[in-house]
Amino acid sequence: MRFARKVWKLLVAVKDALALLFLLGFFGIIYAALAARPAPGRVEDGALLLTLDGTVVEEKSRPDPLRLLMSSQGPAHEFAASDVERALRLAATDDRIKVVVLDLSRFVGGRYVHLHDIGAGIDAVRRAGKPVLTFANVYADDGVQLAAHASEAWVDPMGGAFVAGPGGNYQFYKGLFDKFKVNAHVFRVGTYKSAVEPYMRADFSPEAREDLKLVLDSQWSAYRAEIAKARPRAQLDRMTGDPVAFIKASGGDMAAAAKAAGLVDRIGDKTEFEARVEKLVGKSTIGHGDADDVPDYAHTTLATWLAANPVKTDGAAIGVVTIAGEIVDGDAGPGTAGGDRIARLLDDHVDDGMKALVVRIDSPGGSVMASERIRRAIMRWRNAKIPVVVSMGSMAASGGYWVSTPGQRVFAEPATITGSIGVFAVVTSFEKTLADFGVTSDGVQTTPLSGQPDVLGGLSPQAEGLLQSSVEGIYGQFLARVGAARGKTPAQVDAIAQGRVWPSSDGQRLGLVDQMGGLDAALAYAAKLGGVGNGAWHAVPLKDKPDTFGALLAGLASDSQDEASAYDFAGLLATRQRLQMAQAITRLDAMLGAQGVQAYCLECAVAGDYRAGQEKPVSGSTLALLARLAGRK
């Protein structure tokens, strides 16, 4: 009997080993297939189909394989704004593309600057004499911005369009902290540094409200001007002034109201829309098998189009490093600006013989330590006699401005948010909370700082003084870095700093920005500084090696991402609500986690960030403790 058990264990072990070898071989084959250079797909004469079923971002994030394996839902799709714009501009000059189609049925959104650049790409297609058609079940602000540039904007009969405008509410936690007697120790420099106000107040201070209103008014003016230019007959002011009355004037029919407002041109369902496109380009000659969601008209998808049109690599190389998302310590990203990761990218390529470096920034800031790590890495390019030019995207504020200081020329776009020169730190302690449960603290110290900061027993006056002095010292370094970069004294910088946020036009007037222009303008200027002259040049993005395994899992998971969702008006609002809740929890957790001194812009978050799929699990000790205490009340 004992012998039989040993034989059985041996057989089980052999079976497990064979299964493991099979799985390793299976994934090895998949990895090899993905790692191989993909062959471009066939470009079909007809329509360029851009199915934007997700968010438009500055930099696509890297999927987390572990979270994908544990999640029951695939990640939200992300589309790099530069990819979409490049695809449009290529379509404008390629005779194979007769029509451009933007399917916005499941479009979640994007920041104004990115959509503005894509709108310029749509305009280029139309100037080439090619129609651009859009379709959506319902258009929100972001979709309306893109559809305004189309020659035909279609909406489903059960849908509509609405414009809410930038802005909204932000959560304040002082009442929550007071309820549980949590002591939020706030250390900051800057009258306008409002990022800490949610832990000090129940609402915005007058200074922060004034600052935020300036930024939002600037964004709203830019948005309205773009819609008016693209669609002169659009009745945007009438629609936003009294939206309920405007809808009622059309008998409660939101689709009819959208057409009456000039925001859409035609009302029809997806079948009717596809029939219209098929009439323009003809029926597809490529078989699609059993894929029911693939339209019958002749078309080429975004991925196929980009693969068939690789970026040219003629002439001199101009490096481009992207600093997108919150700046954090460590290796995070892409999609989040991990200081160690970006510094490593810069250091790995500083000796590659590039003629210049363009630093593309789309960040509200974050960790001062990580910001300085990135700044020093950029300065190593300057020290190697390589010109550095900065290109600001939708925002380059606080830590995002800190990393811009090595630039010899700073470009910003008309709706860029910048400035927010100020720093802060928040440390929470629970001595009053624990006292309610009979927990007290006592001990022996060898110096006034022994055991400090003590989050359970409370911070000593010496610890508080040390933290405030540290914040003030870092603020002084911030002023000095900006002053040296912009030819100002620290006192002159302080007069426009104090955490205040500026639209790019004011930033240019105040000397924080040199010139209005997008990434292309910054690249051209960098090539000039690099001595390229009239010679050819090309951009070289500094990127990490692709995570093919994560990409595989993301592709498999995304197939079922939104199959059952119908984005009517209520459905779109529900999606936005889910994202807003996730972002609110993430912000609170990030602010109360174990972090150092921060240079972060609150106004940038309020101004809108539809970065779907970036929610991370809540792990902050403060939230965990509050949740436990709430369960005992």
Q: How far is CA 424 from CA 28, 133, 196, 594, in A?
A: 48, 48, 7, 14
Tens of pLDDT along 256-296?
A: 999 999 999 999 999 999 999 999 999 988 765 445 678 99
* Mean pLDDT, residues 421-447: 86
Q: Is 254 helix (H, G, I), strand (E, B) or coil?
A: helix
405 falls within a domain = no
Element (H, E) at 400: helix 399-402
- pLDDT band with cut points at 50, 70 and 90 for residue 69: very low
Beta carbons of 57 and 110 less than 8 angstroms apart: yes
User: How far apart are the C-alpha atoms of 142 and 134, rounded to whole Å?
Assistant: 13
User: How far apart are the C-alpha atoms of 525 and 633, rounded to whole Å?
Assistant: 62
User: How far apart are the C-alpha atoms of 422 and 117, rounded to whole Å?
Assistant: 30
User: How far apart are the C-alpha atoms of 146 and 94, rounded to whole Å?
Assistant: 22
- Report the CATH number at residue 105: 3.90.226.10
178 falls within a domain = no
User: How far apart are the C-alpha atoms of 329 and 372, rounded to whole Å?
Assistant: 10
Q: Which of 513, 472, 509 is nearest to 490 (CA)?
A: 472
> Looking at 39-151, which runs of residues are DSSP E strands?
46-51, 54-57, 77-80, 97-103, 109-110, 132-139
Beta carbons of 395 and 417 less than 8 angstroms apart: yes
CA angle 88, 609, 304 (to 5 degrees): 30
507 falls within a domain = no
Tens of pLDDT along 248-258?
A: 988 889 999 99
Q: Which of 621, 127, 597, 608 is nearest to 369 (CA)?
A: 597
Tens of pLDDT along 539-597?
A: 999 988 765 555 554 454 444 444 444 456 666 666 666 666 666 665 566 555 546 77
Tens of pLDDT along 141-178?
A: 999 999 999 999 999 999 999 898 988 888 888 888 88
Q: Which amino acid is at 535?
A: G
Residues forming a β-bridge with 11: none
User: How far apart are the C-alpha atoms of 175 and 198, rounded to whole Å?
Assistant: 10
Tens of pLDDT along 335-375?
A: 899 999 999 999 999 999 999 999 999 999 999 999 999 99
Give the whole-number percent of the chain exceeding pLDDT 70: 78
What pTM does this model have? 0.85
CA angle 619, 623, 627 (to 5 degrees): 115
Element (H, E) at 266: strand 266-267
Q: Which amino acid is at 390?
A: V
Q: How far is CA 330 from the centre of its chain?
A: 19
Top pLDDT among 238 and 377 is at 377
CA angle 238, 240, 245 (to 5 degrees): 70
Say how many domains are in the chain.
Answer: 1
Q: List the catalytic residues.
A: 193, 398
Q: Which of 239, 258, 218, 214 is nearest to 112 (CA)?
A: 218
Dihedral of CA 170/175/179/185: which sign?
A: positive
Query: What secondary structure does DSSP assign to 557-593, as a single string?
Result: HHTTSSTT---SHHHHHHHHHHHHHHHHHHHHHHHHS
Q: Which two tokens stand for residue 358?
A: 């363009």
Q: Which two tokens stand for residue 10?
A: 């041996």
* Mean pLDDT, residues 206-233: 92
β 356-363/417-419 pair status: unpaired
Beta carbons of 269 and 275 less than 8 angstroms apart: no
User: How far apart are the C-alpha atoms of 375 and 478, rounded to whole Å?
Assistant: 12
256 falls within a domain = yes
User: How far apart are the C-alpha atoms of 582 and 108, rounded to whole Å?
Assistant: 15
Q: Is 411 helix (H, G, I), strand (E, B) or coil?
A: strand
409 falls within a domain = no
Dihedral of CA 216/218/222/225: which sign?
A: positive
250 falls within a domain = yes
350 falls within a domain = no
Residue 195 is classified by DSSP as G
User: How far apart are the C-alpha atoms of 582 and 577, rounded to whole Å?
Assistant: 9
239 falls within a domain = yes
Is it the case that residue 39 has pLDDT exceeding 60? no
What average pLDDT does the structure give for the chain?
84
Beta carbons of 78 and 561 less than 8 angstroms apart: no
Nearest 5°: phi and psi at 153? -105, 120
Beta carbons of 68 and 547 less than 8 angstroms apart: no
Residue 130's domain comprises 46-166+215-308
Least confident of 434-448, 462-476, 597-611: 597-611
